[in-house]
Amino acid sequence: MTAILFTAFDRPDLLERSLASWDKVRHLRDPFWYFSVEPSPVEDEVKRIIYRFISRNEINVATVHLNPRRLGVLHHPWVGFENLFNRGENFVIRAEDDLCVSDDILEYFAWAELTYRGVSDVATIHGYQQDEHHSPNAVEVLPRFNPLIWGTWRHWWLHLFRDTWDHDYSTFNGHPGNQAGWDWNINTRLFPKHDLKGVYPRMSRVDNIGVHGTHSTPENYSTAPAFQPAYGVVDYHES
């Protein structure tokens, strides 16, 4: 079974925009939805926005969990993945409150999960693509990792990602603090070390709206130039 790990903190305005894009996604009721919310002064508003999303889309299998304490941007997703894989999920997609999606994102992930399941060097599936391209059905396999909506299988979590996760910026390249954190660790250390690859759409199914965040500023903010909110039904193929 596929689950969606949706993490949220204290930006209800961005959460509203993100979930409004998910409103247009087909097959919303297929996965198990797990909303993991960090405690904050606006936690009640954040939960109300999530419950409205669940209600208006008639999602029957969902959990909204408020963390008893703030876990932080590094540890929070690890806890969510661990909970879902311990629950018995086979594939988990991690989404966030500052990312918008295309209408076919679940169809794309379903196709890619089935197509690349068991491929020995494919560890992740991704929705975000920075490159500009003009073929909505093209998919590519690349030796890189991107954290903006991605999924992995239980096998890879248990045997690689879980116990090598950077919870506290303790891994780095060259000197402490340089390319530190779990995403840098996967992209620049784990992927090269194990010769791993991820699956990407040539045209992005994810758009970044989080200009301000823990690791995001107007100076380093980037968005997907080829993102479209609607692609319709697509016949995907690797190119």
- Check residue 24 and give its pLDDT: 98
Token pair 């975000």 is found at 128
Nearest 10 degrees: Cα torsion 148, 152, 157, 161: -40
- Check residue 181 and give its pLDDT: 96
115: exposed, middle or buried (Cβ count in 10 Å: 0-12, 13-18, 19+): middle
Q: Residue 4's closest CA among 117, 66, 86, 89? A: 89
Joined tokens for residue 27: 């097959």
Tens digits of per-residue pLDDT, 190-224?
999 999 999 999 999 999 997 544 544 444 456 77
For residues 21-47, b (16+ Cβ closer than 10 Å) or e, as one string?
Answer: bbeebeebeebbbbbbbbebebbeebb
pLDDT band at 90 (very low <50, low <70, confident <90, very high): very high
All domains of the chain in start order, with CATH: 2-238 (3.90.550.10)
Instruction: Say yes or no to pLDDT of 138 above 50.
Output: yes
Residues 6+ apart with CB under 8 A from 92: 2, 3, 4, 5, 80, 81, 84, 85, 151, 152, 154, 157
Tens digits of per-residue pLDDT, 41-54?
999 999 999 999 99
DSSP string, 143-182: S----SSEEEEHHHIIIIIHHH--SSS---SSSTTTT-SH
Q: Where are the beta strands (DSSP E) in the chain?
A: 2-8, 32-37, 62-66, 91-96, 99-101, 122-126, 138-142, 150-153, 197-201, 206-208, 237-238
Residues 6+ apart with CB under 8 A from 144: 187, 191, 198
Taken as a whole, the chain contains a residue count of 239
**191 vs 16: CA distance, rounded Å:** 34
Query: How far from each other are the two terminal CA atoms of the chain, in whole angstroms?
Result: 27
